[in-house]
């Protein structure tokens, strides 16, 4: 087991609070507010007041309160992080509220299922959660460890610009076949499942490709217009609670 807290991109933002972050930019918001349809929707959601959506990044580089033992461990990417949404309406917080406990939201935008495994491997024995909930990131992402020592990782997607020639052939071939993505997701999900069994922790797995990629009419939308809205998160929680 790795005894060093695993690096992730959130470490760059530890102990910070932001009003805008990643795809949820002030420029995008101002542009959308020029459209009466979006303006009305934002008003209905209460998203037109300053500071109503904030990104509180804790000392471990994750969104939300400081990590504490027990509770729910949430794993995933921006759909779990809650890009474009207040903390109060995102699925990890709703699950914790429904189960009368707290949540450790170990997600970060743009990460891969490989990232979820790395974080899970380290944090399960440290936090000893009562439940692990994984919303698996889109499967066509691959995390690659870069260098040694203070390990950093980069996530590649089909649209990634491959700058390092030593990885060029491997990555091009990896993205050529969808089977690589399927197998990589399957391997990591099975590994997380085995880890949860080892520590006797229940696990719920759902897939962002299935749960959060439906139409905006079905799920509403976040302030960035790129992610599922509050309704999508409520529907996901209902499915998770039914399974739990």
Query: Residue ranges per domain, the chain?
Result: 67-243
Q: Can you list the alpha helix ranges (DSSP code H) found in the chain?
A: 26-32, 36-45, 78-81, 91-98, 113-127, 165-176, 178-198, 208-211, 216-219, 230-243
More confident residue, 236 or 160: 236
Q: What is the pLDDT of residue 162?
A: 62
Q: What is the pLDDT of residue 183?
A: 96
Residue 24 DSSP code: B
Confidence grade of residue 209 (pLDDT, cut at 50, 70, 90): very high
Query: In the Cβ-directed half-sphere of 243, how many Cα atoms lie within 13 Å?
Result: 16
Enumerate the β-bridge partners of residue 153: 145
Token match 């490709």: residue? Answer: 209
Tokens coding 120: 């899970």
Contacts of residue 169, defined as CB under 8 A and 6 or more positions apart, other chains included, come to: none
Confidence grade of residue 170 (pLDDT, cut at 50, 70, 90): confident
The model's pTM is: 0.93
Question: What counts of helices (H) and strands (E) characterise the chain?
Answer: 10, 8
What is the DSSP annotation of 31-61?
A: HHTTSHHHHHHHHHHT-SSTTSS-EEB-TTS
Whether 146 has a pLDDT exceeding 80, the answer reads no
3-class secondary-structure state, position 207: strand
Tokens coding 105: 């939201």
Q: What is the average pLDDT value for the chain, to the nearest integer?
A: 93
Whether 150 has a pLDDT exceeding 60, the answer reads no
Q: Can you list the alpha helix ranges (DSSP code H) found in 63-162?
A: 78-81, 91-98, 113-127
Question: How do residues 71-104 score in pLDDT, each as one tens digit?
Answer: 999 999 999 999 999 999 999 999 999 999 999 9
Nearest to 91 by CA among 111, 69, 72: 72
Q: What is the pLDDT of residue 168?
A: 74
Residue pair 14/59 in contact (Cβ under 8 Å)? The answer is yes
- Other CB atoms within 10 Å distance of the CB of residue 162: 13
Whether 1 has a pLDDT exceeding 60, the answer reads no
Q: What is the pLDDT of residue 111?
A: 96
Kindly report the CATH number that applies to the domain delimited by 67-243.
3.40.50
Q: What distance in Å separates the CA atoms of residue 189 and residue 116, rounded to the nearest whole number?
A: 9
């Amino acid at each position: 087991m790795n005894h060093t807290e695993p690096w992730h991109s959130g470490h760059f933002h530890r102990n910070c609070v932001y009003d805008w972050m990643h795809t949820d930019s002030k420029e995008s918001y101002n542009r959308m507010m020029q459209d009466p349809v979006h303006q009305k929707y934002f008003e209905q959601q209460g998203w037109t007041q300053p500071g109503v959506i904030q990104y509180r990044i804790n000392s471990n580089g994750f969104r939300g309160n400081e990590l504490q033992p027990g509770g729910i461990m949430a794993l995933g990417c921006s759909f779990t992080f809650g890009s474009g949404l207040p903390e109060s309406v995102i699925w990890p917080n709703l699950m914790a509220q429904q189960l009368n406990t707290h949540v450790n939201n170990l997600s970060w935008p743009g990460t891969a299922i490989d990232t979820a495994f790395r974080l899970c491997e380290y944090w399960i024995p440290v936090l000893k959660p009562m439940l692990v909930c994984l919303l698996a990131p889109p499967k066509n992402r691959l995390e690659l460890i870069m260098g040694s020592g203070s390990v950093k990782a980069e996530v590649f997607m089909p649209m990634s610009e491959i700058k390092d020639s030593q990885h060029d052939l491997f990555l091009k071939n990896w993205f050529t076949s969808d089977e690589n993505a399927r197998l990589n997701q399957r391997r990591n999900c099975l590994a997380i499942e085995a880890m949860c069994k080892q520590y006797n922790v229940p696990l719920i797995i759902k897939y962002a490709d299935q749960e959060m990629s439906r139409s905006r009419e079905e799920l509403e939308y976040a302030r960035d217009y790129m992610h599922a809205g509050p309704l999508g998160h409520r529907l996901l929680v209902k499915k998770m609670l039914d399974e739990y």
